[in-house]
Amino acid sequence: MKKELADLINNQVNFEIYSAHIYLNMACYCGAEGLEGFRNWMNIQYQEEMSHANKLIDYLLDNGYTPKITNWEESPGTDYTNILEVAQISLMHEKVVTERFNYMMTKAHELGDYATINLLNWFIDEQVEEEASFEAMIQKINMVKDAGLYLLDQEYGARTFVDNTKE
Ligand code: FEO
């Protein structure tokens, strides 16, 4: 494998670990907000990102390249406004990941590296699912929000006039 492409994959290893840290922080935010279900989901997302990093590490090692783990940057902390914002930021993040894999795929094609193209195909398919799962989360949160508003509207609609001036 060409060093240029191996370096890009190594770079992505570190970005996947950075992604894992983002989702682990989100899990902490959810836990602090009492959203145990979302916390569970984000913890699994964290594990998934680490498994992505390890899949890339395995590939590099199989190709005689020693991966190097470096800090990416400090991940955004746990300062979110609400769960909708968490889902929206996650979707934006996954779109960046998709762009990164698309770029690596372009390079792999330029270099005629078919084995790496096979590896990247897995990640490009995975990114379709990653984006779709956050799109769905945003839709569901919005639906539930509307359902909550509907229930509140029903409650306020049930008010009847009582002339308390006569009491
Ligand atoms: Fe490893 Fe969420 O992409």
pTM value is: 0.88
Paired tokens of 155: 């409650």
Atom number of ligand 1 nearest to Cα 94: 2
CA distances from 139 to 17, 91, 127 (A): 27, 12, 18
Instruction: Tell the residue nearest (CA) to atom 1 of ligand 1.
Output: 49
Give the span between the Cα atoms of 85 and 90, in whole angstroms.
Answer: 8
User: Which atom of ligand 1 lies closest to the CA of 45?
Assistant: 2
* 52 close to 126: Cβ distance less than 8 angstroms: yes
Report yes or no: 27 and 15 within 8 Å, Cβ to Cβ.
no
Pseudo-torsion of CA 20, 22, 27, 30, nearest 10°? -160
Ligand 1: residues within 6 Å at CB? 16, 19, 49, 52, 94, 97, 130
Rounded Cα gap, residues 68 and 148, in angstroms: 48
Instruction: Kindly give the residue spans of alpha helices, DSSP state H, lying in the chain.
Output: 3-32, 36-62, 83-111, 114-157
Confidence at residue 135, expressed as pLDDT on a 0 to 100 scale: 97
- Cβ atoms of 121 and 133 closer than 8 Å: no
- Closest by alpha carbon to 51, among 27, 76, 23? 23
Q: Tell which atom from ligand 1 comes closest to the C-alpha of 16.
A: 1
Q: Longest C-alpha distance within the chain, in Å?
A: 90
Per-residue pLDDT of the chain (167 residues; tens, 9 = 90+): 999 999 999 999 999 999 999 999 999 999 999 989 999 999 999 999 999 999 999 999 999 999 999 988 888 889 999 999 999 999 999 999 999 999 999 999 999 999 999 999 999 999 999 999 999 999 988 988 878 867 778 888 888 888 888 88
